[in-house]
């Protein structure tokens, strides 16, 4: 009986060690998402949503980690995946307007081109892509240029959130000591 228990214990440890070896390590740039309205899934399960779900952004959060971000890691004037790993995706759950242009309900890839004073946000219909390596400008839905704003505190991990505005909401992207917002109208 003792030999059987010892043998079972050995095999359990062996299989657990095999399972641990097959799981990927924690990513240095973890994936995150943000909703408009904020915290929509939690509000929904509490039966407390004040507005219908309008948008969700899914992105990876690279770290500053002592690096020069803008003009360094993120080259000025080049298309950027707006995060790390997979290109950032935004989904609209109803039709919206961006820069006066109608955008249909659906899922899109969101890229950016950063400059010191402005950013150009790019909405593209090619989804499920890694980085900006296969970026195709022929698949752009729209481009909109917005001011880039210097902020006083360093944002260590890239962050995205939606903020309510008088005409709808905006997606605010902040990292290092810069933020920019993409205005979205309902």
The sign one gets for the Cα dihedral 45, 49, 53, 59 is: negative
- CA–CA dist 129, 136 (Å, integer): 11
Backbone torsions φ then ψ of 100, nearest 5 degrees = 80, -5
Cα dihedral 20, 23, 26, 31 sign: negative
User: What does the pLDDT look like over 80-112, one tens digit per residue?
Assistant: 999 999 999 999 999 999 999 999 999 999 999
pLDDT at 18: 52
Q: What angle do CA 76, 114, 105 make, to 5 degrees?
A: 145
Which of 144, 157, 150, 65 lies closest to 116 in space, CA to CA?
150
Mean pLDDT per block of 10 residues along the chain (186 residues) reads 53 55 82 94 89 96 97 97 96 98 98 98 96 96 98 98 97 98 97
Q: How much is the pLDDT for 15? A: 54
* Structure confidence at residue 5 (pLDDT): 46
Domain ranges of the chain: 26-185
List all residues 6 or more positions away from 70 whose beta carbon is below 8 Å from its beta carbon.
76, 114, 116, 176, 178
Instruction: Please give the pLDDT value at position 19.
Output: 54
pTM: 0.85
Geometric angle at alpha carbon 152, from 123 and 98, rounded to 5°: 20
């Amino acid at each position: 009986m003792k030999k059987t228990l010892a043998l079972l214990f050995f095999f359990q440890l062996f299989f657990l060690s095999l399972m641990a070896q097959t799981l990927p390590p924690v990513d240095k740039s973890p994936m995150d998402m943000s909703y408009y309205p904020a915290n929509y899934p939690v509000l929904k399960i509490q039966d407390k949503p004040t507005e219908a779900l309008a948008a969700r952004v899914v992105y990876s959060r690279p770290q500053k980690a002592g690096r020069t971000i803008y003009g360094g890691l993120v080259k000025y004037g080049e298309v950027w995946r707006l995060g790390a790993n997979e290109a950032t995706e935004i989904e609209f759950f109803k039709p919206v307007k961006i820069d006066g242009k109608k955008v249909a309900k659906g899922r899109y890839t969101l890229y950016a081109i950063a400059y010191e004073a402005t950013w150009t946000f790019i909405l593209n219909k090619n989804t499920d892509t890694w980085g900006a390596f296969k970026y195709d400008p022929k698949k752009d839905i729209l481009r909109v240029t917005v001011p880039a704003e210097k902020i006083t505190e360093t944002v260590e991990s890239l962050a995205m959130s939606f903020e309510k505005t008088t005409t709808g909401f905006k997606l605010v992207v902040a990292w290092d000591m810069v933020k920019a917002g993409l205005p979205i109208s309902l």
